[in-house]
Structure 1
Amino acid sequence: MNEVEGIKRIKKLIDKAKAGEELVLGFFGGSITQGSLSSEPKLCYAHRVFDWFEKEFPNAKFHYLNSGIGGTSSYFGVSRVYKDLLMYRPDFVIVDFSVNDDPTDLFKETYEGLIRRIWYSDTEPAMLLLNNVYYDDGRTAEDIHLEVGKHYGIPNVSIKDTIYKRMLEGRYNRNDITPDGLHPNDLGHELLAKEITDRINEICGMDVSDCQEEQEKEPVTANRFEDSIRYTIETGSPVLSGFRADAREKEGHLDFFKNGWIATKTGDSIHFELSGVRTVAIQYRKTINRPAPVALAILDGCREKAVVLDSNFDEDWGDCLYLQQVLNESERKDHTLDIEIVSASEEDKNSFYLLSLIVS
């Protein structure tokens, strides 16, 4: 694996830390990165890695930026990466979506778009790709993510090849490190952090040639998602008929259900005019507070091919930022999109909440 450029960036980061510079450490991913099932935020793997940097380099000043959002994929990630991560100009970024993405060509493409956005951003941050795993069966999108990472020379940390492997060998009982087979407990987060810091130490001991600056590489996928745009009430101007803009102020990236549009009655609708797009995904709330309204997504006026948007969530862990793709094409075209409530009643315990459109 040619990781020369990735190794050089991490060694440069460590040199800056040794020199006492001020650095931003960013963590971008799903629920594990957010810190799910750690007993307190400071015990999640991300904060433990931050703590390690502070301990190892006491003369430097570090800023902690955790941009994890539970239950979300790299598809959503590529659309939010600037506002939640890149605008803070990180010097180091860990990306973690291997248990949120499916191992499909679509998610290989959305993941590459995300990686390119970060890798080629202005600060040229050092990066590590974190590949988590389902501990019950070993499921992970690591393979497709590594195809992308290898192409750009970005080092990774494989939990399947380390902690999960040791568990299979009997060194850990599954319940010792994860109560639900996915999210680490405090010990699990501690083990994750150690794999990351050990990898950084390993890289620091490597010799790499001071070769010519690497040129931007051609993508390995169709790369339709690198320039994804997320339309919310801040950035979109749809025609509202019954839907209303949510006027509440959004407070941080974990204040999920804000800056969207709300509908409560059958017949409520919202209309978007979309110019020159290849893909469209609708992000809406699936809620555990059932019953809740059901809508149709109608592309280009074709009701026969309408997609059902059922906001009733059949899980019990909490409301979900659900992402439903309704257009997936290779050529840019103009389209219209109508979302219409087709089932609602006075018995509903929640509204239909449209968070955003994600288009590319």
Structure 2
Amino acid sequence: MKSGPDDLAIHQKIQISRRTAGLLLGSCLVRPAKVLASADPLTNKIVVRSQLSAGDPGRLMNVFAKAYRGEPITLGVIGGSITVGAFATTKENSYAGRLLTWWRQQFPRCEVRMVNAGVGGTGSMYGALRAGKDLLSNTPDFVVIEFAVNDNWTDGEAFEGLVRQILAQPNLPAVLLLFMMWEKGGNDQEMQANVGAHYQLPMVSFRDALWPEMAAGRLNWSDYIVDTVHPTDAGHAAAARFITAMCNNARHADLAGRSGATSSLPSPLHSDAFEHIDWRDAAALDPHENQGWHLDFDDKGVAAWNAAAAAGRIAFDWSGTGLVAVFADPLLDPRRIRFRIDGASFQTLDTLKQPKRPILVLAQDLTPGRHIVELVDDDGGSGRAAGQQVRLIGIAGIGLKDDWRR
């Protein structure tokens, strides 16, 4: 992505935010900073660097106001395997578990619970499809989104749609973006931070905090990352510390008498297509036509339509302006599956020119309304020979307006 005036404006906001964070963090220390620094490799300077942008803390301040009243608080996290807690020795040692512990310690009179909507190996597109069921059905007050190491193959549409879904909830939840990293300090922070800046969201960067120290040899990669991306217990603890530092800043702002007012959503930066979706997993799909596919469940109870017979056809109706199909695994040979929308010419999945992922956008920018998708498994001799069966675990209509909901 090329930088421009908007990037410069975002950069300037981030610098201001970090200077402010430094003052706030310093004012909140209960012991002299020198004492803390001697016992903790995560110096105050590192923590301040993690505070990418404070954004508009109004929604987060409202959550604290609710906690001060002793009302129940629901925390939510959505992301990939890091959010699930991969490589943490216990659930409590994951960043999500530590975040829950922090809130309970700060507000012992409150009933605080955590909804963990992490699914390993998935990005924000699948997150946007399942957010309603896995996360928002629990009415979270504060949500952390962690997809910066899973989104390098997507543009900003799906990520923005996920953000908009959460922000549009009637209870006005607060949203914080967490940017982890893979080897050599890489991640998809640039795209996601542009979305975050557009919606004035608090943003925390594990990468910005730790990678400069690692690159300079002052911190060891292996102390914080197990492999190329998954945190150790210390890495999870660092991520949680960076998040709670941002929380403390918002709480400090609240105590200083700042307004907790919120505002309506701005116009989309990219698109609102993934804000308005109709996700149906395989068990909820009723085929419009079916020749040789059958519904089964894997050992984890996940339903899928299985293309058991070569050249079998299956068709579903759906509503919206676009369609996303989610398979259990990336197809070894995407040419074996042909599809068409509303009776148009068939095309194979490889013509979509999309990365080899289990989630594919089959159509966009269609006329709003009801549509039919047909899938045909040709099994061109390479798929099942390699031991792979095609398993469709769900479809989602996107760009769905209220008038066209099922």
* TM-score exceeds 0.5: yes
Aligned length: 338
Residues 1:261 and 2:300 are matched in the alignment: no
Q: Which amino acid aligns with 1:338?
A: E
Distance 1:155 1:346, change over 3 A: closer
Secondary structure in structure 1 of the residue aligned to 2:157: helix
Partner of 1:113: 161
Secondary structure in structure 2 of the residue aligned to 1:14: helix
Give the CA deviation at 1:172. 1.7
Distance 2:264 2:334 in 1: 50
Residues 293-302 or 84-93, more deviating: 293-302
Secondary structure in structure 2 of the residue aligned to 1:128: strand
Q: TM-score, normalised by structure 1?
A: 0.84
Give the CA deviation at 1:226. 0.7
Q: How does 1:266-345 map to 2 (within 5 A)?
A: 266-275=310-319, 277-286=320-329, 295-300=336-341, 305-308=347-350, 322-329=358-365, 331-332=367-368, 335-343=371-379
CA distances 1:23-53 after superposition (whole Å, capped 9, x unpaired): 1111111111111121222211111110111
Is the CA contact (8 Å cut-off) linking 2:315 and 2:374 kept in structure 1?
A: yes
Q: Which amino acid aligns with 1:108?
A: G
Partner of 1:231: 280
Distance 1:117 1:93, change over 3 A: same
Residues 1:358 and 2:396 are matched in the alignment: yes
Partner of 1:42: 92
Partner of 1:217: 266
Q: How does 1:107-186 map to 2 (within 5 A)?
A: 107-134=155-182, 136-186=183-233
Distance 1:165 1:346, change over 3 A: closer
Identity of paired residues, percent?
Answer: 27
Larger Rg, first or second structure (1 or 2): 2
Q: Which amino acid aligns with 2:328?
A: R
Which is richer in strand?
1
Residues 292-301 or 224-233, more deviating: 292-301
Give the CA deviation at 1:208. 6.8
Which is richer in helix?
2
Distance 1:161 1:348, change over 3 A: closer
Give the CA deviation at 1:87. 0.8
Secondary structure in structure 1 of the residue aligned to 2:217: coil
Distance 1:35 1:5 in 2: 27
Give the CA deviation at 1:241. 1.3
Is the CA contact (8 Å cut-off) linking 2:292 and 2:307 kept in structure 1?
A: yes
Distance 1:125 1:80 in 2: 17
Is the CA contact (8 Å cut-off) linking 1:119 and 1:125 kept in structure 2?
A: yes
Distance 1:132 1:54 in 2: 24
Distance 1:245 1:220 in 2: 39
Distance 1:210 1:4 in 2: 15
Unpaired segments of 5 or more residues in structure 1?
Answer: 315-320
Distance 1:219 1:240, change over 3 A: same
Q: Which amino acid aligns with 2:338?
A: A
Is the CA contact (8 Å cut-off) linking 1:103 and 1:140 kept in structure 2?
A: no
Give the CA deviation at 1:145. 1.1
Is the CA contact (8 Å cut-off) linking 2:58 and 2:260 kept in structure 1?
A: no
Distance 2:394 2:67 in 1: 39
Q: Which amino acid aligns with 1:139?
A: G
Partner of 1:317: none
Is the CA contact (8 Å cut-off) linking 1:25 and 1:91 kept in structure 2?
A: yes
Distance 1:102 1:346 in 2: 30
Distance 2:133 2:311 in 1: 34
Q: Which amino acid aligns with 2:327?
A: Y
Distance 1:157 1:177, change over 3 A: same
Is the CA contact (8 Å cut-off) linking 2:54 and 2:202 kept in structure 1?
A: no
Q: How does 1:60-139 map to 2 (within 5 A)?
A: 60-102=110-152, 104=154, 107-134=155-182, 136-139=183-186
Q: TM-score, normalised by structure 2?
A: 0.75
Q: Which amino acid aligns with 1:298?
A: F
CA distances 1:258-278 after superposition (whole Å, capped 9, x unpaired): 232122232222112344x43
Partner of 2:10: none
Distance 1:211 1:70, change over 3 A: closer
Distance 1:138 1:271, change over 3 A: same
Distance 2:389 2:79 in 1: 28
Give the CA deviation at 1:333. 6.6
Partner of 2:101: 51
Is the CA contact (8 Å cut-off) linking 1:295 and 1:308 kept in structure 2?
A: no
Give the CA deviation at 1:146. 1.4
